[in-house]
Chains A and B, each alone.
Chain A
Amino acid sequence: MLAYILRRVFQSALVLLVVGLVAFSMFRFVGDPVDNMLGQERTQADIERLRDTLGLDDPFPVQYWNFLGNAVQGNFGVSYRQGRPVSEILIERAPATLELAAVSGVLALTFGIGLGVFTAIRRDGFAANAIMTLSLVGVSLPTFLIGILLIYLFSVELGWLPSFGRGEVVQFGGWSTGFLTESGLKALILPSITLGLYQMTLIMRLVRSEMLEVLRTDYIRFARARGLSERAVNFRHALKNTMVPVITVTGLQLGSIIAFAIITETVFQWPGVGLLFINAIQFVDIPVMAAYLMLISVMFVGINLIVDLLYVMIDPRLRGDPAKGH
């Protein structure tokens, strides 16, 4: 068991190192930050001096090695664009993304499961069919278009909700929250729908098909034959058994909600890490790009590691201990 965990942790660390190496080999293709950092009047001497101090002419493995050396000590460098320590910027921006991701996740789960169950139980009903058709929109429309459509409808035409930003935020130590003000809550609605819509339709379709499967099984038929109420059959017996794959998928999707908030954040000018990353790409802000990519890969690798370890706990066959086997 311990050997298995150690092996998995070792593999995860290796994956992280490779991700970093690939990232650093790509940065040179993103462009050159020097022209963004100097004014129009810069001279060749300025360019060379800056390239030299930033180490841009070093081969990328050297740049990567320097980055790792500093990162191990908790120093992610200074943003080329803002001139502030990257770790400070990331800590400042993280609450916005995490709050948005949490609200989208909750929305996706609640509506995904609810509508999934509904469409499975009333599978021939008009409403269920309409929902199924509409869900195609959620799966197929690109996020930025959904965002723009929502802005057009709810901000421009109806004037109910703000089109950009986080509204008023309240500071708790290093954490800024939009949950405590009216404008903060209003500002969350459109971006979280935009971000969560894809996940919602995915969960809904998954729940529906699992549910249909389960409703066909013998124990549901026996439950009905015993005269249990529809409610008890559907929710206590059928739904419970559809949840296993849903939880797996949700866990994996949580990572992507955070990582792919980039587009939603750009459309709504949401001041989170995704918007920060987009700005960093445009400016070729290498320290910010590197730190963001490492952070996201740590998160993905971490989630996968936890999932793997959970499997070991759940499934005794993976423990590789034949003495205790069946």
Chain B
Amino acid sequence: MTRTSGLLAATLLATTALAPMATAETLRWARAGDSLTLDPHAQNEGPTHTIAHQIYEPLLIRDMTGAFEPALATSWAPSPDDPNVWVFTLREGVTFHDGAAFDASDVVFSINRAKTEDSDMKELLTSIVEVRATDPMTVEFVTDGPNPILPSNLTNLFIMDEDWANANGAVKVQDVEGGEETFAARNANGTGPYTLVSREPDVRTVLEQFPDYWGKNQFPMDVTEVIYTPIQNAATRVAALLSGEVDLIQDVPVQDLTRVAGTDNLEVRTAPQNRVIFFGLNMGAADLESDNVEGANPLADARVRQAMNMAINREAIQQVVMRGQSQPAGMIAPPFVNGWTAELDQAKTDVAAAKALMEEAGYGDGFTIQLDCPNDRYINDEAICQATVGMLAQIGVTVNLDAKPKAQHFPLISNKTTDFYMLGWGVPTYDSEYIFNFLVHTTEGDRGSWNATGYSNPDLDAKIKSLASETDLDARNDTIAEIWEVVQAETIYLPVHHQVLNWGMKAGVGIDVDPEDQPKVKYISMN
């Protein structure tokens, strides 16, 4: 009798103990890299922002489709009185993880912090002259001229608590050179859906749901605990997913996609990434270092560039090198970007016509050139370059491939000491102006810093500059289209493809692939 009642009591206890357990869901998540620091303004880098997005929040975010969604601001619009001012209305009733209330002074503090010398985010905020709080729930951004796309520069700009930063000596952004780690690099106090439980850099970061999150009933929020582990080696990462040790991995290698998709209880979800892969051609130099043509630069001839563009068989690269995981590109803008059109994104392969163009340009016998390529930056980067070598050989261009680690490749582009190079480009603002500023504008001042082609067109430069302050969006879009027309006609770059993201996950993890490669856990539903 006693035994039965004891058993009954135990069963009852077990069921009551299990009841809340059913809703507790842990997401074990892995990707190649770790966040470099928790200081939200110290690094402008993918994995660092991804972790920050769980803990901190910007004024507005992009949802999984790339569209704006309100976060800490509920609405924003240019001021009706002054075209140089943007007015943001803030969300009411938001608290930081330590319980402090969120208001306009925190926004002013955070933007000013991100504008300081040591901040890695400051280049996105150069147009901002002043940020002021007009009342506790309204903030005005004053820019140095009308800035129609200011909100797109704020989607990774996280808001910290002013009092917390003051109390903990975290007012200054962590700088590597200074030699001191600030409190904010190891600790975090945001308004985001998850709070920091523990973190060992490069080993493990544990987050748990913030019970007072303002959007608790608005988003699925099924995940109560997040365990984030960087796993660098691709084979180990896939093995961890296959063996059930993790629930979600980013960057599934293309050769393992069928294996993962073919396993019971696992799924691969795919979506185009906000990143286009292309080749740059040094057309500006009088003579090239690496070619065999004396006293002239074959790349200065638009016909040669067009011929090279036509010789690249993007479908073959897609099929063979990328195993279908890419989208052939005809322009250097990802499909989400304002200014992208389906017509411009077409590229056709025509070796015969390319040969004729080479003949016409006086290079019927071809020439030799060196191609600089990274081997650890983009998906199958070196293999894409190898395929391109073979394709260009068909029109007589003998390419010597020099593939090296990214740390050696990118300085060639920064220092503009390469004749022919691979580059990948993502557009965080989702607007063509960003592409033009960095890749098309003549290298001068803050613009054209990634334009290693030597291309310089004063008319185009003037048009690019005008985009920054054109508030009539139709007129602005017309200018963008005009600029693209020139970029395409001049064949400044040879586009290859849009990269595709692959996330592998346990069946039941409900999340769409985000073009920025930044899963936001609050959107995940678990079944």
Using a CB–CB cutoff of 8 Å, the interface residues on chain A facing chain B are 29-47, 50, 53-54, 77-85, 89, 92, 148, 151-152, 155-156, 159, 162-166, 266-269, 271, 275-276, 278-279, 282-284
A46: chain B residues within 8 A (beta carbon): 123
Bound-state Cα–Cα, A162 to B407, Å? 32
B67: chain A residues within 8 A (beta carbon): none
Nearest Cβ in chain B — how far from A284, in angstroms? 5
Bound-state Cα–Cα, A80 to B376, Å? 19
Nearest Cβ in chain A — how far from B167, in angstroms? 21
The contact of A83 among B36, B45, B204, B411, by CB within 8 Å, is B36
Known: A31-B407, A279-B202. A164 touches B245 (CB 8 A): yes
Bound-state Cα–Cα, A293 to B406, Å? 22
Nearest Cβ in chain A — how far from B484, in angstroms? 21
Residue B446 is within 8 A (CB to CB) of chain A in the complex: yes
Please tell me if the beta carbons of B407 and A283 are within 8 angstroms of each other in the complex: yes
Nearest Cβ in chain B — how far from A38, in angstroms? 6
Using a CB–CB cutoff of 8 Å, the interface residues on chain B facing chain A are 36-37, 42-45, 120-121, 123-124, 174-181, 185, 200-204, 229-233, 235-237, 239-240, 242-245, 376, 405-408, 410-411, 414, 426, 428, 438, 445-446, 449-450
A279: chain B residues within 8 A (beta carbon): 202, 232
Nearest Cβ in chain A — how far from B274, in angstroms? 12
Please tell me if the beta carbons of A268 and B236 are within 8 angstroms of each other in the complex: yes
Please tell me if the beta carbons of B37 and A83 are within 8 angstroms of each other in the complex: yes
Nearest Cβ in chain B — how far from A6, in angstroms? 36
Known: A83-B42, A83-B185, A269-B236. A37 touches B414 (CB 8 A): no
Please tell me if the beta carbons of B176 and A37 are within 8 angstroms of each other in the complex: yes
A159: chain B residues within 8 A (beta carbon): 243-244
Bound-state Cα–Cα, A282 to B233, Å? 13
B243: chain A residues within 8 A (beta carbon): 155-156, 159, 162-163
15 contacts between A and B (CB under 8 A): A40-B428, A43-B446, A46-B123, A82-B36, A82-B202, A148-B236, A148-B239, A155-B245, A156-B243, A159-B243, A269-B231, A271-B200, A271-B202, A282-B407, A283-B407
Please tell me if the beta carbons of A148 and B235 are within 8 angstroms of each other in the complex: yes
Please tell me if the beta carbons of B245 and A33 are within 8 angstroms of each other in the complex: no
Please tell me if the beta carbons of B177 and A50 are within 8 angstroms of each other in the complex: yes
Please tell me if the beta carbons of B240 and A163 are within 8 angstroms of each other in the complex: yes
Please tell me if the beta carbons of B202 and A276 are within 8 angstroms of each other in the complex: yes
Please tell me if the beta carbons of B177 and A54 are within 8 angstroms of each other in the complex: yes
Nearest Cβ in chain A — how far from B450, in angstroms? 8
Bound-state Cα–Cα, A81 to B446, Å? 25
Please tell me if the beta carbons of A156 and B239 are within 8 angstroms of each other in the complex: yes
Given contacts A44-B449, A266-B232, A276-B202, 17 further A-B contacts (CB under 8 A): A34-B414, A35-B414, A41-B44, A41-B438, A42-B449, A43-B445, A78-B176, A83-B175, A89-B201, A155-B245, A156-B242, A159-B243, A163-B240, A164-B231, A164-B236, A166-B203, A279-B202
Chain A residue, CB-CB nearest to B413 = A35
Bound-state Cα–Cα, A156 to B236, Å? 10
Please tell me if the beta carbons of A84 and B185 are within 8 angstroms of each other in the complex: yes
Q: Which of A30, A39, A41 gathers the greatest number of chain B CB atoms within 10 Å? A: A41
Nearest Cβ in chain A — how far from B72, in angstroms? 22
Please tell me if the beta carbons of B229 and A165 are within 8 angstroms of each other in the complex: yes
Bound-state Cα–Cα, A78 to B202, Å? 16
Please tell me if the beta carbons of A47 and B414 are within 8 angstroms of each other in the complex: yes
B42: chain A residues within 8 A (beta carbon): 83
Chain A residue, CB-CB nearest to B244 = A159
| Closest 9 pairs (CB-CB, A-B) | A31-B407, A39-B44, A41-B123, A32-B411, A31-B408, A53-B177, A35-B410, A155-B243, A271-B203
Bound-state Cα–Cα, A35 to B452, Å? 15
B175: chain A residues within 8 A (beta carbon): 83
Please tell me if the beta carbons of B449 and A32 are within 8 angstroms of each other in the complex: no
Bound-state Cα–Cα, A35 to B414, Å? 8
A166: chain B residues within 8 A (beta carbon): 203
Bound-state Cα–Cα, A148 to B230, Å? 17
Please tell me if the beta carbons of A30 and B245 are within 8 angstroms of each other in the complex: no
The majority secondary structure among interface residues of chain B is: loop
B411: chain A residues within 8 A (beta carbon): 31-32, 34-35
Q: Which of B42, B45, B232, B450 gathers the greatest number of chain A CB atoms within 10 Å? A: B232
Chain B residue, CB-CB nearest to A92 = B200
Chain A residue, CB-CB nearest to B203 = A271
Please tell me if the beta carbons of A269 and B121 are within 8 angstroms of each other in the complex: no
Bound-state Cα–Cα, A34 to B242, Å? 37
A268: chain B residues within 8 A (beta carbon): 236
Bound-state Cα–Cα, A86 to B408, Å? 23
Bound-state Cα–Cα, A322 to B72, Å? 86
Nearest Cβ in chain B — how far from A147, in angstroms? 8
Nearest Cβ in chain A — how far from B373, in angstroms? 14
Bound-state Cα–Cα, A166 to B202, Å? 12
Nearest Cβ in chain B — how far from A91, in angstroms? 13
Bound-state Cα–Cα, A79 to B176, Å? 7
Bound-state Cα–Cα, A33 to B36, Å? 14
The contact of A269 among B181, B185, B200, B229, by CB within 8 Å, is B229
Bound-state Cα–Cα, A258 to B331, Å? 50
Known: A269-B229, A283-B407. A165 touches B44 (CB 8 A): no
Bound-state Cα–Cα, A212 to B414, Å? 63
Please tell me if the beta carbons of B376 and A165 are within 8 angstroms of each other in the complex: no
Known: A47-B414, A53-B177, A155-B239. A30 touches B407 (CB 8 A): yes
Nearest Cβ in chain A — how far from B152, in angstroms? 13
Bound-state Cα–Cα, A54 to B446, Å? 22
The contact of A267 among B178, B202, B236, by CB within 8 Å, is B236
Bound-state Cα–Cα, A37 to B450, Å? 16
The contact of B233 among A45, A54, A269, by CB within 8 Å, is A269
The contact of B123 among A35, A42, A79, by CB within 8 Å, is A42
Nearest Cβ in chain A — how far from B524, in angstroms? 22
Please tell me if the beta carbons of B203 and A164 are within 8 angstroms of each other in the complex: no
A81: chain B residues within 8 A (beta carbon): 36
Bound-state Cα–Cα, A53 to B243, Å? 46
Nearest Cβ in chain B — how far from A25, in angstroms? 16
B449: chain A residues within 8 A (beta carbon): 42-44
A38: chain B residues within 8 A (beta carbon): 44, 120
Bound-state Cα–Cα, A53 to B392, Å? 43
Bound-state Cα–Cα, A293 to B36, Å? 22
A165: chain B residues within 8 A (beta carbon): 203-204, 229
Bound-state Cα–Cα, A274 to B141, Å? 47
Known: A83-B36, A83-B176, A283-B407. A40 touches B44 (CB 8 A): yes
Please tell me if the beta carbons of B239 and A151 are within 8 angstroms of each other in the complex: yes
Known: A156-B243, A282-B407. A275 touches B202 (CB 8 A): yes
Please tell me if the beta carbons of A164 and B176 are within 8 angstroms of each other in the complex: no
Nearest Cβ in chain B — how far from A73, in angstroms? 13
B202: chain A residues within 8 A (beta carbon): 82, 271, 275-276, 279
Bound-state Cα–Cα, A293 to B245, Å? 34
Nearest Cβ in chain B — how far from A126, in angstroms? 34
Please tell me if the beta carbons of B232 and A275 are within 8 angstroms of each other in the complex: yes
Nearest Cβ in chain B — how far from A104, in angstroms? 18
Chain A residue, CB-CB nearest to B425 = A40
Bound-state Cα–Cα, A81 to B37, Å? 9
Chain B residue, CB-CB nearest to A162 = B245
Chain A residue, CB-CB nearest to B443 = A44
Known: A32-B407, A85-B181. A164 touches B438 (CB 8 A): no
